[in-house]
Amino acid sequence: MVTGAGGFVGRALVPRLVADGHRVTALSRHGNAALPFHATPVERYENAFPLMKGHGCIVHLAARVHVMRDKADNPLQAFWTANTELTLNLARQAAAAGVKRFIFISSVKVNGEQTLPGHAFGADDICAPHDPYALSKFEAEQGLQKISSETGLEIVIIRPPLVYGPHVRANFAALMRAVQRGVPLPLGAINNRRSLVALDNLVDFIALCVRHPDAANQVLLVSDAEDLSTPELIRRMAGAMKTSARLWPVPLWILAAGAAVFGKNEGLRRLCGSFQLDISKTRALLGWTPPLSVDEGLHRALKDGAP
């Protein structure tokens, strides 16, 4: 069973699981609208218990995602209700229904907001969530581990970084549009390293976690296994578009001053800070290697979902 099957990841995951030979029940609050597969419309996931019986594994994708400008009156409560309370409710239902494994797509933001050079986040590091989104995911992880110890339900927690692929939205899509239009970008002097994960790589990893016995009760990080600086990412995007990157080497202190004036410190941190993942545990435990390179992932993102 896949919750949130109509979302960015779900639309790619369900066909992959079917191709792998699984009988898949896809759940979506949006029903079958524009989906390439049948999805059962679910108005409230809290009432999903009757649908769970007979399933061996649930992949829980449904979530309130991180947004840059949250308009909720109480963002922490909104994230907690959608990402913590709902997740734990579903896990309890799954345990009661006899489901063996519950895969939770968390976020590496649970680890923190930025890494120091040469110090990538590891799966077993002490967590340091900062914003309401990351806190809601962290509290869900803790609750799931408690439910697992009480019921025997196998829990698999996957923490991806930024996911890109066909029809990606938000900041990544905005950056792709800027590169495509030849907008001059003042990021040529940035010397950082960031981990990303292509949609197809994430889907491949989730599919492995559905069936691999050693994934049970693990926290696992996933990425493309090639960290890029922001200028290099822009150059790779431009290469995939068969155009030239227009990068200006503006010193970081000037960018920081401008960001402070216009209240864009958070956006600057995302572009200029480092955010690296160490996936050595994932590789060693499950023998997983990303099937797509960064260049292949960018090519697919641009070919099938051009900005």
Positions annotated as catalytic residues are 133
Half-sphere exposure of residue 161, counting CA atoms within 13 Å on the CB side?
A: 29
- Rounded Cα–Cα distance for residues 197 and 89 (Å): 29
**What's the rounded Cα separation, in Å, for the pair 194 and 161?**
9
Contact 234, 179 (CB under 8 A): yes
Residues across the chain: 307
Residues near 214 by beta carbon (within 8 Å), at least 6 away in sequence: 285, 286
Provide the β-strand partners of residue 198.
164
Please, which residues bridge with residue 158 across strands? 105, 220
Instruction: State in Å, rounded, how far the first CA of the chain is from the last one.
Output: 31
Return d(Cα 13, Cα 8) in angstroms, integer.
9
Give the separation between CA 5 and CA 24, rounded to whole angstroms: 10
Q: What share of the chain is helix, strand, coil (3-state, %, to 5)?
A: 45, 15, 40
Tell me the C-alpha distance between 44 and 276, whole Å.
36
Distance between CA 177 and CA 182 in Å, rounded? 9
Q: Indicate the DSSP class of residue 65.
A: P
